[in-house]
Amino acid sequence: MNFYKHHIGDYAQATAHLSFVEDAAYARMLRKYYAEEKPLPADLKAVQRLVGARTREERDAVEQVLSEFFYLDGDGWHNKRADAELARASAQAETNRRIAEEREAKRRARRAPNEPSTKRAATEHEPLHESLACREPSQTPDARHQTPEEEEEKEERIERMRAQAEADGVEPTSAGLACRVIRAAGVQDVNPSHPDLAKLLAAGATPEELGDVAREAVAKGKPRFAWVLATAAGRRRDAADSPAIPIKPSSNASGPPGADFLNRARAAAGLKPEEPEDQTIEMPA
């Protein structure tokens, strides 16, 4: 495990009474715990050596921290918070694996009718990234023209982010979810409290829409949060300021509706106006 969440407030509250050396020992023990994804050894000396405790003070600090923040079980020293985080990460990894396999199965099903029978399909032993690489050449993303596969993958990314937030016990806000989508697209300097983001969401912008703009920003070499917000706002403003051109009703009673407008357009193009059609209705004798 190369990443774990360090909740600063919880940690500070629980460790405020520790000495400098004890705090350092606890931090090293937690890092080793997460890196190995298993309890610390049951033998005290093995733990001291594992975290580099050399002096008497450092070895005593390790012993004190073990007795206060860990409990000894059959397979070693356990930490309740670390065990819970590892279980959550494992569940999320399983969810991501299942989503990836389902997406790949759908892609194979869609492409099967159009692929030659001689084309080798991915076997169960072939890594997923190699299977995708041999079928999809790398292309520069264009957020304005999404294929059905890209739209599906985008929706799955949003769903994974919602699942992660629920696993963390947090109900994602629109701003928080939008920032997660933007960050996943490659723009890192996000701010869920940004007033321009709040205005965009209030105006009806969706996290998916902002994610598309973020991917465009990355493709153009402008991976900045401010650029994403300004571009999204500008496009919405342009769309609102571009109403359809109204067609003025014809004032010529003998011609069809809009005949004056069409004739003016033909005249501007150097063409002769159209003659009005004969509207006489013959009545039976």
Q: Is 187 helix (H, G, I), strand (E, B) or coil?
A: coil
Average pLDDT over residues 204-212: 87
Question: Of 99-103, 120-124, 243-247, which range is least confident?
Answer: 120-124
**Residue 209 pLDDT > 60:** yes
Place of tokens 């070895």: 59
Structure confidence by residue, pLDDT tens digits, 224-279: 999 999 999 998 888 887 765 554 554 444 445 455 656 666 666 566 666 655 55
Give the whole-angstrom CA distance, residue 34 versus residue 48: 17
Q: Which residues contact 235 (CB under 8 A, 6 or more apart)?
A: 213
pLDDT for the residue 243 = 63
Average pLDDT over residues 84-101: 87
pLDDT for the residue 261 = 55
- Report whether 207 contacts 181 (CB < 8 A): yes
pTM for this prediction: 0.39
Structure confidence by residue, pLDDT tens digits, 72-82: 999 999 999 99
- Written as six digits, the tokens of 76 are 């070693």
Question: Of 59-63, 121-125, 182-186, which range is least confident?
Answer: 121-125
Average pLDDT over residues 204-233: 89
**Residue 99 pLDDT > 60:** yes
Report residue 42's pLDDT band, with 50, 70 and 90 as the boundaries.
very high
